[in-house]
Amino acid sequence: MKYFDTHRELLEKAKQAIKDRGYWTPYPEHPKAYAENAAEEGNLAFGKHLNLPYEELGVESENWIGEEVSPYWQTGLGISYPALTTDSLIANAHAASVWGEMSADDRAGILIESLKRVESRYFEIAYATMHTTGQSFMMAFQASGPHANDRALEAVALGHEELTRFPAELDWVKPMGKFDLQIHKDYKAIPRGTGLVIGCSTFPTWNTVPGMYASLITGNPVIVKPHPKSILPIAIVIAELRIVLREANVDPNVIQLAVDTLSAPVTKELAEHDDIKLIDYTGGSAFGDYIETLDKITFTEKSGVNCVILDSMKDIKPVVQNIAFASSLYSGQMCTAPQNVFVPANGIDTEEGHMSFEEVASAISAAVKGLVEHPKMGAGTLGSIQNDATLKRINSGGDFGGEVALDVLEVTNPEFEHARIASPKVIVTDEQNTDAYANECFGPIIFVVKTADRSRNLELVAELARTKGAITCSAYCSDEQFSKRIINTMNHAFTPVSLNFSGAAFVNQHAAFSDFHVTGGNPAGNATFTNPEYIVKRFVWVGNRYFG
């Protein structure tokens, strides 16, 4: 197929990047790498969707629904989407099952071509992401555009590698003395069946496309069920893929969009359907735990409690600035954002002298305040709060059982006067206050937790990772031996460590082709973006033998 020949070189580069684990991307992450008028055109394209039915999917339906609200405007987008019944979606997926009989080459070519088409709509998708999630423009552009494409391509490349690992057929010859036993054999990768991808409200493409493209490259039709408040960004991606499928004379129902409303959800109905064999899920732990109990193959990313260990360092200033930014970025609504900062009761050592616990807590609060009140960084870093419940929890949570060292500050966005904004609340507490800090408090909150000593710091963080889950762990330690102990302890709690990050290195950032996102080894999730297991569980190898 022409698409595979067009993208063969890119596919091979992606495969090599997965093996090398170095920095590589075919999709530049900075808006300036694209046409000068691309941002303006993207904004106009986004605007043309407002208050209209979204018809790009080419789907006919008697029922059109939509309830997206811009966290910046505080008004509805007015976009409606075709709502099909579960039975119709399943029937369509069955009719498109010929997708699984196509070669891995042909599927890869179509999927990579769809990413090329998506690249031409990065700016449109960025504005769609801004006004459904509350991300700032820069984050929305990067996360829903090039970074999402990176993760999708990574899944395609690793999928193609696994599907072509063994020969398609061969003549097997076993010497038997006076004669040879000859058997012809072939090997087929049989798709598991229809996949369901359940999206989240905060990262509607970045968290959705890995599972979506992993199931597609392995031959499985996919139904994507986004959060009802964040549909448009992934709808655009799906529309482009359906266009490419039609051009390739393939049933576009290989990929379908399923929509619902908060008052009439369909996720459970879909997830429990007998014909759904694979489920990818991103979201809270309560629903994620339910997904994992189903008799399906599941790939989950759930909530966790991400922590920072403060032990010793050269200079406190770049450390607290780094923590402040990592916790404030998108108002703490990232699954990788740090929530708890553990500090020994007797303080920490720096090359500039010893600092008491109180001084450390004060430095963290001051760094957050400085960032939030910075005219060029505050509103742009915080973005907007996606969900009213997040804002209510922060505003009504009081002192969370501790002392409020820094309350929510008043922040205004000069571009969006009605934006729903909340700066991080800093709570100083001690290790006994587990009812507060030992659970994920989604959104802008930082707990500075006083512990007995450095060993207790590590013990608590590792225990939280084992029992509540953790996607990240950040540690600051200038003691080489204790640094090794931190890494070893946390790694055995199946949690990666980011050591001594400062400057432009932030614990939130996970790079495709290099960083594994979620280990799958603790309660924060059972799968990893993107390792071989993320691929091979989506199909079954079957070998046939022919004699004579």
Q: Report pLDDT for 390.
A: 86
Label residue 399 by pLDDT band (50, 70, 90): confident
- The string of DSSP letters for 415-462 reads T-TT----PPEEEEEETT-HHHHTS---SSEEEEEEESSHHHHHHHHH
Q: What percent of the chain has pLDDT over 90?
A: 93
Task: Give the burial string for 232-264 (b: 16+ CB within 10 Å, else e).
Answer: bbbbbbbbbbbbbbeebebbbbbbbbbbbeeee
In a domain, 514, yes or no: no
In a domain, 511, yes or no: no
In a domain, 395, yes or no: yes
Structure tokens, 293 = 């109990």
In a domain, 505, yes or no: no
Q: Report pLDDT for 361.
A: 97
284 and 340 share one domain: no
| CA–CA gap between residue 415 and residue 72 (Å, rounded) | 9
Q: Report pLDDT for 286.
A: 94
Q: Is 49 left (phi over 0), alpha (psi -120 to 50) or beta?
A: alpha
| Short-list 143, 123, 147, 149, CA closest to 10 | 149
361 and 454 share one domain: yes
Least confident of 17-21, 287-291, 379-383, 522-526: 379-383
367 and 238 share one domain: no
134 and 31 share one domain: yes
| CA–CA gap between residue 253 and residue 247 (Å, rounded) | 13
137 and 191 share one domain: yes
In a domain, 105, yes or no: yes
488-512 per-position pLDDT tens digit: 999 999 999 999 999 999 999 999 9
Q: Report pLDDT for 387.
A: 87
In a domain, 37, yes or no: yes
What's the rounded mean pLDDT across residues 440-449?
93
479 and 460 share one domain: yes
Asked whether residue 548 carries a pLDDT value surpassing 90, the answer given is no
| CA–CA gap between residue 217 and residue 275 (Å, rounded) | 19
The CATH number of whichever domain residue 450 belongs to comes to: 3.40.309.10
291 and 268 share one domain: yes
**How far is residue 110 CA from its own chain's centroid?**
23
In a domain, 75, yes or no: yes
198-254 per-position pLDDT tens digit: 999 999 999 999 999 999 999 999 999 999 999 999 999 999 999 999 999 999 999
Asked whether residue 536 carries a pLDDT value surpassing 80, the answer given is yes
Nearest-10 crossing angle of helices 232-247, 122-133: 150
Q: Report pLDDT for 87.
A: 97
Residue 144: give the domain boundaries: 2-302+527-547
**How far is residue 132 CA from its own chain's centroid?**
16
Least confident of 69-73, 272-276, 371-375, 446-450: 371-375
Distances from the Cα of 291 to the Cα of 286, 300, 334, 437, 539, angstroms: 9, 8, 21, 26, 20
312 and 261 share one domain: no
**Kind and range of the H or E run holding 150:** helix 146-163
Mean pLDDT of the chain: 96
285 and 350 share one domain: no
Q: Report pLDDT for 15.
A: 98
Label residue 1 by pLDDT band (50, 70, 90): low
452 and 484 share one domain: yes
380 and 452 share one domain: yes
Asked whether residue 471 carries a pLDDT value surpassing 70, the answer given is yes
In a domain, 44, yes or no: yes
What's the rounded mean pLDDT across residues 459-480?
97
User: How close are the terminal C-alpha atoms of the chain, in Å?
Assistant: 33
336 and 480 share one domain: yes
Label residue 388 by pLDDT band (50, 70, 90): confident
Domain count, the chain: 2
Structure tokens, 133 = 């999630």
